[in-house]
Structure 1
Amino acid sequence: MTLGIFFSILSGLLIPFMTFLLGKIFDAFTDKQTGDITKQVFDQKISLLLLEFALLGAGSFVLVSLMLTFWMWTGERQSKKMKQIYFRSLLRMEIAYFESDDVTSGGLLTSVNKDAEEVQNVISEQMGYLIQDIVIVLSTLTLAFFQHAILTLVILASTPLIFLALAYTSRKANPLIVQERDIFIRAGNVLENTLSAIKTVRAFNGEEKEEKKHHDYLQAANNVSAGLAWTYGLRSGLTQFLILSLFVQGFWFGATLVAEKKLAPGGVLSVFYSAMLGLGVLKNILPRIVSIERAKTAIHSINILLEKVALMDLEALRGFKLPKIEGNIDFNQISFSYPSRPDTWVLRNIDIHIPAYQTTVFVGESGSGKSTIAQLIQRLYEPDEGLIMLDGRELRILNISWLRQQIGVVSQEPVLFDDTIFANVAYGRADYWNTTMEEVEDACKLACIHDFITELPQGYNTSLGDMGKKLSGGQRQRIAIARALIKDPAILILDEASSALDTTSDLMVQEALENCRKNRTTIVITHQLKYIGDSDLVYVLHEGEIVETGTKSQLLNINNGYYNKLSVEHSPHPKRRTHELDSINKRLGTPTSLQSNIPTPSPKAKSFTTLDFLSVDLSITPPPSATFSRKSWYLDESTDMDMLQETATVAVSKRNDRDDDNGTSIFDIISFYEDNDDGVIIDVIVTKPNESVSKKPKKPKFQFPILKLIRDTMDSKPLYFVGLIATIINGFVMPVFSFVLANLLNTYSIPDKDELVSKSREFALYVLLIAAINGISSHFKYYLLERASERWAVRLRHLGFGRIIRQPQSWFDKPENATGKVTTILTTDTESSKNLVGHFAGNVIFGMVSLFVGIIWAFTVGWQLTLVGFGLVPVILFASELQGYVLQKYEKSRKLASEDAANSFYQTISSLRTVFSLAIEPAMEGKFQTALEKPFKIGVKKAFVSGFTTGFLDSLSYLTKVMTFWYGARLVSDGTYDLQKMLIVWTLVIFCTTSASQMLATIPYYAKSKQAVKTINKIINLPTVPNTEGDIPDKIKGSIVFKDVKFSYSERPDVTVLDGLNLTIEQGQTVALVGKSGNGKSTVAALLQRIYEPTSGSIMLDYENLNNLQLRWLRENIGIVSQEPVLFDMTIGENIAYGKDDATQEEIEIVAKQVNLHDFILALPNGYDTKLGSCGSQLSGGQKQRIAIARVLLRDPKILILDEATSALDTTNEAIVQETLSKVQKGRTTLVITHRLKSVKNSDKIALVEHGRILESGTHKELMTLRGEYFNLVRSGNL
């Protein structure tokens, strides 16, 4: 930064020297015109002065190049540093901060991207130019004062009005900037919430609801932006008018001084030019002030965060570390309420003693406070009242990071990171960087996951993708257990640690956990009473209070006790599970089918580096399994165009079985347009089978994709058109002003005093008229272009969001389309696209109009000097085009790297509870810093290229002046031109090329905006899967048939998940799918909802191919409750009513009562209007599950899918909910996915799934009689 400031000052000081030389040159021309000097002396003076001018140009090249390079380098460094500080600050915030209504991962990602970009825009070349401009203003005005103070004061007499205009508009704009920023953050929240829960959104037909919510926020931001555009337009118009009008009194007074022989014409020109440059530069400062005001708002938001963090950092550093941990934990009169619900007590005056080296178990209904106790021990929260002691020391005086490193936690919903399996396990240790492969393998063997990992192509170096969602629930839980075991913690917390495992894995893991409990304090939170040991200390919680304490045998002896009730509600069978087992396979079939979703890591990948596994290109080629339902395709450079006809035919064959009966449908390619960078968009139509088509596509119809995008998507074309007219009018101002100025300067050579003053007054009035036109056109230019471009950006974001949420699920499965990356594209690229049609288009048109009008005008006055003056224009344009091309290449690479960094930020912030629990904040910070390094290094290279090329272009303006003066001197010397003619051509050339140079200064921004538009263009042209097309039967019965269904995930088409599955579900039947996790059960449910499409085979509903039915109608008639329910950042009432917008409050309360949730909701201060926070973070797992069940019951679907629907419920609520579900199942088709015998025993049919096929099917009695695999599972207690 210091070097940037130094070179900014030096480059700014060049300008007063230039104005001084201009005055000397003008004096020479005037002396030649009046005959005061000879031709020989004139030629000598001009040659010497032009040599000095050329040296200024060389100095400008060096100084401007270095200035921009160092400032752009500084901007990149400051942007990286700001993101690091923001990220580090978030890692030091209390967990309660992230549970407030207005804080979500998506909102924080939007905030950091927008704030960092605002700051970088200022602390970059903008700051360099700002300092340069300030130096120019001060130095030129100082020079003007030095040459003639009184004339300078006359010219500057009205400048206070300019500062008044600035102050007034700033006061109006600042609150609007804050308001706009907050609205965009809320829109980012909706964006992130929708994309991260896209399966749930689709299952409940919530696309239009989320789209409208997002659009409403965008419209609100658009309305605020309209006020900002008017305010800044007013500022631009007033200042432009006042700056030019300042010369009115200056012209008149200058003429008086010349007439009275008190100042030479060259002195007047020098003062004029100095003042004009100073005030002209002041005009350039105005848009930089807009950027500064936005950056101030961004910095203010970070400062607020830093103020909160400062106190926490002090606390974290001060903490005490015990030399040894025994593990005795005591709760003394602890009361606690969550910060987001301070009026609702979760724990009330509880006293607990957890003895060292023993197992303590907490049981009770969901929402009774069990998990809260675990969170208080980890100091994720602090108690409101009472003390928590560890080995006799108060917990709050201990070093918080050290404390968490001593605690191993396995939670009910484990979170994994977008990293390798090795890294995810190694993160369990404080010194994760020293973890060996042997240690990781040993932990995985204990967790019964080693064999599965070794079957993967990349083994422990396999990347798990976005949030580890490419694993089944059981597989995720076993890796989480391995992560806890590798820590070898003094305190082990198991919060439903084996809830997601199938029975076989559960038994194996329980044995491993039993061994790990030895010689350590173990805290178990569970509903599974079967695994409570005889010597374990048990605490029973009810509504936040300890109601019973003792060993299992002691509690069983309490008549009508709470524990007794829990035991009675469990199944009495000794070999059977006594509580729910969450062994759902969320997506995968056999263990090897995991390969169908995990991307193959780079062969260079080692250890647990993330970036090696991230793609650097945004793939939007639709997967083959989804192309059949689309009307257009995106083809990249690798596409074999000759095979398009064959590919299209196959796709249509899959699309519609009815086509097969009549012959295969074919495509007729009607048009496509080029995307210069990456590929083409193909628009296609389906023709009838008997139509003939040519096998070769028609001749391509090429168009400019950016112009086509603007034409097709801009809904403010009239507004934009008027704005362009205002810009064109504004572009005429400079040539007209140059002509008037030249004539005015020529009047100074008039010998008659009265005529000189009269002519000067006349031209001064012309200037006043020009100033008025300039002010009005500047205002409407800025306001209309900004208004239209802002509305266009809003529409792009709306259209892009609509396209994305209608992509097939396989699109979201790609790592390059992770939530963090897509969110960044829609939030930052639309903003950059706005600048292309707003600021950039305005500057380009203004510069081009000024340039061409100036050229034509100058040609009509004197074509010889015009040719020389504009002779370098082709060179300048070529250099500008080359600069733009090179910068665009750098910008594309930097943008992709920035998206990877943004996704790293999102992955961590959305998993902060796990990060805090593992105490791996340093690891995540290092990972994010590594991700930031790549865009930073590319940005530095871009800085050198941009600085050099811009410095070169700037030096050409000096060379233009030299050439013009040199040839003009020759023309005047030999009598071809008189002084007036030379001055008119010279001013037209100089002022018009100066206007054009302002256009060239926007090239670096153009490269960024153009790349952003290309990305948005691809998003908007993504083919979609419409959910409103297809047949809508008059009535649905619910008969379902899977016929020879095969399925593979698009990422691994060679790995089969379902292998010829055949399954028939009759109308009104309840069919249960059982089997080990990873065999394809949940895949069947996903195919039934058309979340995915089968690779081959067919799925029939009431004898109609599922693909022929309207997707929206299909999902309206299917209700699903999954193992890990997704709730939204809405109220409880809105979450229950999600998918049924016309639900009444009475209907909502009825289903809440059915799942035993109504009384709990009413006990909350805000009842059904209680906000749940991001992902329902304010509720326990059981409470979330009951809301999810109520949400489905409210829709009253004809087909019900229960995918471990009661897995998170305590036995009391499970019995109530199970009874409700049993009633609901009557008369409707139900698909049950479970591992528990009591949930399937009474089913009409049970199907055992193994390796993607139905191994056995029948009733429970029939399968037991068969004495096959199902019989073995039941007899062995594994079901």
Structure 2
Amino acid sequence: MRILPLRALGNLVFVQGLVFAQYLVAAGRATSGQVFTSFSACLLLGSLIASLSDLLAMINKAQASALSMDELGVVQVAEHSMSNVSLAQLISKTYSVSTILVEDISFAYQDVETPILERVNATFNTSGFNFIIGLSGSGKSTLACIIAGLYEQSEGHIRIDGITQPFRGYSNESILLVHLHPSILEQLLKSNISLGCGSIDESRLVSAIYLADLQDFVASLPLGLNSTVDEKELSGGQLQKIGLARAFLRDPPVLILDEALSAIDSHSRKRIMANLRERRRGQLTLLVTHDSQDIEPNDDICMLSAGRVTRFGKKHQIGSALPVKLASQEKHDIEHIEKDRDHNDVCFRSRAARSSDIESQSDIDESFEKESTYSLTQLLRFTYRTCDKKFMVLFGCFTAVLTGLVPLVLSFLFSKILSKIVGHTSPGMRITWKPILTLIIAAIALIFGDGCVHFSSKALLHYVLETWINSLRKLSLSLINDQDMSFFSLHNRFPSDLNTLLMNDARDLRSVISEFLPGICEMFALAVGGFVWSTVTGWRLTLVGYAFIPLILMITAAYGIILQGVEARYKSEVAELDSHCSKTMLGIKTIKSIGLESDLCAEFEQKLKALFSIGLKRAIVDGFGFSVLQLCTSAATATILYYGVFLIGKNEYSLEQMLFVLTLLIFTISGVTNVTKRLPVVSRGQRAARYISSIISSLALELEVGGVYSVGHRTEKASDAVILFQNVSFSYQDTNAKGFNQVLKNITFEVKKGESLTIVGKSGSGKSTIASLLLRLYNVDRGSIEIFGMEISSIKADDFRGAVTMVPQKPKFFEGSIRENLLYGCQLPYVSEEAIWDVLRAVNAFDLVNGLQRGLDTCYGDDVLFSLGELQRLCIARALIRKPRILILDEPSSHLDAFNTQIVADLIGTGLRAIDKDLVILTISHDSNLIKHAGRILKIDRGYVAQDGKSSG
């Protein structure tokens, strides 16, 4: 709405100025020269007023951004008082801590009423290892985070060797917390292990690697410790070993391990525990675990239940109250089994896809990087190809042409009015008001009409183009969802990059069409119409004025080319900084645990300096280009005025003729200059169009979805097997080695109705790759995969997703009610509340949900937060509610205590078959309790089937 009054006000400046000038001339209080000078000033003022709409838009965006930042509620936390801590004490504490005393600690998460811990009291010392154990959701990890200084308790105190509430820097130096999923930065392995340690001795680094049993992994890397690693491409056991290597290297006075060995195979786990006990002798070590097999008689145990301490003491003192998960069970014969996180089996920068798919995607990426420009013509073609409401866009451009013709008529009216005023040079001369008032009224009506048309054009274009951008977002997201997982491993294809592109950069693309394209149409109409009209009126002065147009266009072209390169670099730096912030926030717990805030802040400042540097260049280019264009405009105006007066002096032009041509040319040149002000928008829009167009074109082929058959369809080749792998081979791409790493080699096996299969094997053997291929996340190199007698790619995506369901090892709930999360993606037409509660009972989550004030309608994140173990049970329930025909469980017991692990084992063994006797269960696990309940075991070794037979349990 601001466009209408501002555009009208910019033109009305002339009208009210001319009316008042007429009065002053008639009263003898102003000369014609003064009127003419004022009129010229009003021309400049009017263009400035009209540009206020863009400035107001920027101010509105700034206000919205400031409000968003204010709503974050970031509060500066004051440092704890150090009045009772001497410097000598602090220095000594960095070398030795003998006791941690927990006194009446209570804790509740912000905006969550239910307390996590209630009046917890415990003492941890160096007489042996200290273990915190308990059921899922009992508060074990929360207590560990409070001791490490990550959370601030609601009540109570933490005393370290008698010192109450040490300041934050003390915690970073003296206490190291290693999490279940330690964060890894995408940099050298050596740098990842030595994070926060500064310069280190090579022998200490090698020693830490051997103590963490990481030497085989290092040996498998092409460049050893100097190889680049990425968290997404490491197995769970490898991630945990890197976290443990950090701990061995730093050797802090207090070491806290929060389920830090849960994904490591039994043999390696035993070696690491022995190394820990030897290395940490006489130092305070605290382990949070569900597993009691590592507890020795001299170790202290703190048992939590529902946020309270139920038992505390030595192992022999607690006795039968100690929950045993694996202590009475011998490990299965299959050893060295390590969890492979999600779909990643290869340890070193492995990114998967079929060879042809990877090469084609890489070619697209390379050609995209080489293509440095995306012309305005290409941008318009892209818009025409992807916009559904082309007619409305064309209509908006047509109205822009009409508004471009308005200054021509206004120039004619203003010249008539001005000539009548300036023509009365004698003071007191009587002025004929009627024709002047007629011209003024006509000008006012035209100005308001122009404002209404301009407003309608802008509103229409913004509406249509906002719809277009939303459709592009939907199309891009749909195509992205259709890809296999190899797509996300390519350059500029990480989730944070795609999110920035679709949500932020797409707005720049919209701005090009909604602002620059109408401006071009308006300028074209003004330039062509003005040239024709002014040439007919006075061709000599017109040619002088239009002689500046080529100069302005050349400067504009050069300005645009330079600005495009600077804008692209600026946007890239912004994306780099955004990616850095995103990774920092995702790994904030690990960063705080090992005291990396200063290092990450220093890296952030370096990226800010790089952004500031290119931003300064951008500002210089933008300001210099705009100034040169303004200089050309002023020079053109002065030249036109001088030559016009010269022609009048030779009686070749009349005053009215000169004023008309002068006004018309000034309007035209100002219009051209105003269009050039939008060149930064064009540069940003060209970059966004290039990225989005690249994504859409590269995703033209559906790699992951498709199919024409439903799950119930039977073909002539149908067999009795529900799952059939026939000579399947698959390779990951090794980007550093510029080759492929074959993971599966002619794998053949089948799974029949009602069968329970557990896949085991060493890290990198390919077990999780089998699950990923079965889920259609990747395409095979050779061979075929069938379910229900049909090639998986021939099955409709919706039918396939309804039939095959996976429970990931890392559970995930979204913001929303528990009911919405449990039914998320469920394709069943109706699921009764009773059915939901029955499934919750089956996974031992009934009391967990029923005990909440709002039950299933409790909002996760706002009303309640769950532990990983609780989330894992709910995720299993979510999978069972869907009533799949094939259920894949990826380390389903990794976050569960002994009691709930047994429940899951019973479900796999007999419970699920009682519900659906034809259900196929495929489990990936190294938990011997689950392996015992498997009807059949498939062992993968170096890409081959090494063992396929019945479980001995």
TM-score (norm 2): 0.91
User: 1:1235 matched to which residue of 2?
Assistant: 926
1:825 to 2:501 alignment: yes
Q: Say yes or no: does 1:1032 pair with 2:710.
A: yes
Residue 1134 of structure 1 deviates from its aligned partner by 2.1
Q: Tell me the equivalent position of 1:1003.
A: 679
Unaligned runs of 5+ in 2: 715-719
- How far the C-alpha of 1:554 sits from its partner, in A, is 1.9
1:923-942 to 2 correspondence within 5 Å? 923-942=599-618
Say which is worse superposed, 1244-1253 or 823-832, in terms of deviation: 1244-1253
- Structure 1 segment 555-594 matched on structure 2, within 5 A: 555-556=318-319, 561-563=320-322, 566-567=323-324, 570=326, 572-573=328-329, 583-584=339-340, 586-589=342-345, 593-594=346-347
Alignment of structure 1 residues 272-351 onto 2, 5 Å: 272-303=39-70, 305=72, 308-310=74-76, 312-315=77-80, 322-325=90-93, 326-342=97-113, 344-351=114-121
Partner Cα separation in structure 2 for residue 576 and residue 495 of structure 1 = 25
Q: Give the direction of change, closer, same or farther, for the CA distance of 1:594–1:331 in structure 2 (3 Å limit).
A: closer
Give yes or no for the alignment of 1:511 onto 2:274. Answer: yes
Q: 8 Å contact 2:710–2:795 — kept in the other structure?
A: yes
Equivalent in the alignment of 1:949: 625
What is residue 717 of structure 2 aligned with on the other side? none
1:871 offset after TM fit, Å? 1.1
For the 8 Å contact 1:623–1:811, the answer to whether it is kept is: no
Between 1:931-940 and 1:990-999, the stretch displaced more is 931-940
Shift in Å at residue 394 of structure 1? 1.7
Residues 136 and 869, structure 2, Cα contact 8 Å, conserved in 1: yes
2:265 is matched with which residue: 497, 502, 520?
502
Cα distance in structure 1, aligned partners of 2:266 and 2:45: 80
**Judging changes above 3 Å, is the alpha-carbon distance between structure 1 residues 675 and 266 closer, same or farther for their aligned structure 2 residues?**
farther
* Residue matched to 2:132: 362
Unmatched runs of 5 consecutive residues or more in structure 1: 1-232, 600-621, 640-673, 681-701, 1262-1273, 1275-1279
Question: Is 1:462 aligned to residue 227 of structure 2?
Answer: yes
- Asked if the contact 2:232–2:344 (Cα under 8 Å) also holds between the matched residues in 1, the reply is no
Amino acid at match of 1:1085: A
2:923 aligned counterpart, secondary structure: strand
- Alpha-carbon deviations, 1:728-777, whole Å to 9, x = none? 22222222111212122221215793455444333222222222223222
Aligned equivalents of 1:1004 and 1:347: distance in 2? 54
Map residues 1156-1167 of structure 1 onto 2, 5 A cutoff.
Answer: 1156-1167=844-855
Residue 1215 of structure 1 and its aligned partner are, at CA, apart by 1.5
Give the match's secondary structure for 2:228: coil
CA contact (8 A) 1:360 1:523 kept: yes
* Whole-angstrom distance in 2 between the partners of 1:919 and 1:638: 38
Partner in structure 1 of residue 730 of structure 2: 1047
| Partner residue in 1 for 2:815 | 1129
> Which whole-Å CA distance do the structure 2 matches of 1:548 and 1:577 have between them?
34
The match for 1:1145 is 833
Distance in 2 (CA, whole Å) between partners of 1:679 and 1:368 is 57
> C-alpha offsets along residues 1114-1159 of structure 1, whole Å, 9 cap, x if unaligned?
2321122232223323332222222215433222211111110110
Given the superposition, is the C-alpha separation of residues 1020 and 861 from structure 1 closer, same or farther in structure 2, using an over 3 Å criterion? same
* SS of residue in 1 equivalent to 2:229: coil
CA displacement 1:251-290 (0-9 Å, x = unmatched) = 3342243244332111112223334533542332233123
1:143-187 Cα offsets, whole Å, 9 max, x none, are xxxxxxxxxxxxxxxxxxxxxxxxxxxxxxxxxxxxxxxxxxxxx
CA, structure 1 residues 1177+855, in 2 after alignment: closer, same or farther (shift >3 Å)? farther
1:1092-1116 CA-to-partner distances (Å, cap 9, x unmatched) read 1111122222443223333332232
Q: Work out whether residues 481 and 497 of structure 1, in 8 Å CA contact, stay in contact via their aligned partners in 2.
A: yes
Residues 1188 and 581 of structure 1: CA distance in aligned 2, closer, same or farther (over 3 Å) = farther
For the Cα contact (< 8 Å) 1:1073–1:1248, is it kept in 2? Answer: yes
Code of the aligned partner of 2:801: R
> Does structure 1 residue 899 correspond to structure 2 residue 559?
no
Which residue of the partner structure matches residue 739 of structure 1?
412
Give the Cα separation in 2 of the matches to 1:703 and 1:974: 46
Q: Any idea what SS the aligned residue of 1:707 has?
A: helix
Give yes or no for the alignment of 1:1154 onto 2:920. no
Given the superposition, is the C-alpha separation of residues 801 and 481 from structure 1 closer, same or farther in structure 2, using an over 3 Å criterion?
same
Secondary structure at the counterpart of residue 1031 of structure 1: coil
Matches within 5 A, 1:1065-1076: 1065-1076=751-762
d(CA) in 2 for partners of 1:317, 1:907: 33
Q: Matches of residues 239-258 of structure 1 in structure 2 within 5 Å?
A: 239-258=6-25
For 1:602-681, what aligned pairs fall within 5 Å after superposition? 624-626=355-357, 636=364, 677=371
Count of aligned residue pairs for this structure pair: 928
Counterpart residue number, 1:405: 173
Give the share of equivalent positions with the same residue, in percent: 27
Check 1:501–1:785 CA distance in 2 against 1; reply closer, same or farther (3 A cut). Answer: same
1:426 corresponds in structure 2 to 194
Distance 1:928 1:1147, change over 3 A: farther
Are 1:444 and 2:209 counterparts? yes
Structure 1 position 718, deviation (Å)? 4.7
Deviation (angstroms), 1:473: 0.7
Q: Deviations over 1:538-566 (max 9, x none)?
A: 1222222222222222222xxxx532xx2
SS in 2 for 1:1258: strand
CA distance, structure 2, for counterparts of residue 810 and residue 1125 of structure 1: 22
Q: Is the 8 A contact 2:122 2:312 kept in 1?
A: no
Select the residue among 389, 403, 426 that pairs with 2:159. 389
Question: Using a 3 Å threshold, how does the CA distance of structure 1 residues 1094 and 374 change in structure 2: closer, same or farther?
Answer: same
2:387 aligns with: 714
Q: Is the 8 A contact 2:13 2:42 kept in 1?
A: no
The 8 Å contact of residues 730 and 846 in structure 1, kept in 2 or not, is answered as yes
Aligned to 1:224: none
- Alpha-carbon spacing, 1:366–1:579, altered in 2? closer, same or farther (3 Å): farther
State which of 939, 942, 945 in structure 2 corresponds to 1:1248: 939
Give the whole-Å Cα distance in 2 for the aligned partners of 1:281 and 1:890: 26
In terms of mean alpha carbon deviation, does 1071-1080 or 759-768 score higher? 759-768
Query: Which stretch has the larger CA shift, 974-983 or 1017-1026?
Result: 1017-1026
- Per-residue CA deviation, residues 178-220 of structure 1 (Å, 9 max, x unaligned), is xxxxxxxxxxxxxxxxxxxxxxxxxxxxxxxxxxxxxxxxxxx
How far apart, in 1, do the equivalents of 2:816 and 2:516 lie? 40
Q: Is the CA contact 1:259–1:757 (under 8 Å) kept in the aligned structure 2?
A: no
Q: CA deviation at 1:835?
A: 0.9
State the alpha-carbon separation in 2 of the partners of residues 1201 and 483 from structure 1.
33
Q: Distance in 2 between matches of 1:253 and 1:705?
A: 50
Counterpart-to-counterpart distance in 1, 2:390 and 2:80: 57
Alpha carbons of structure 1 residues 402 and 388: separation in structure 2 relative to 1, 3 Å: closer
| 1:776 corresponds to | 452
Q: Which secondary structure state, in structure 1, belongs to the residue aligned with residue 51 of structure 2? A: helix
Q: Are residues 1:526 and 2:289 paired?
A: yes
User: In 2, Cα distance between the equivalents of 1:1220 and 1:1255?
Assistant: 27
CA distance in 2 between counterparts of 1:892 and 1:319 reads 55
Change (3 A) 1:256 1:1054: closer
Contact 1:259 1:756 in 2 (8 A): no
1:1232 and 1:261, CA in 2 relative to 1: closer, same or farther beyond 3 A?
closer
Change in Cα spacing, 1:773 to 1:1147, as seen in structure 2 (3 Å) is: same
What are the superposed Cα offsets for residues 862-909 of structure 1, whole Å, 9 maximum, x if unpaired?
A: 112211110121222122122212221222233233222211110111
Q: Distance in 2 between matches of 1:251 and 1:319?
A: 79
Partner of 1:115: none
- Determine if contact 1:1040/1:1064 at 8 Å carries over to the other structure: yes
Distance 1:1045 1:598 in 2: 18
CA distance in 2, matches of 1:594, 1:570: 28
CA distance in 1, matches of 2:886, 2:251: 47
Change (3 A) 1:470 1:317: farther
Match of 2:668 among 992, 1004, 1024: 992
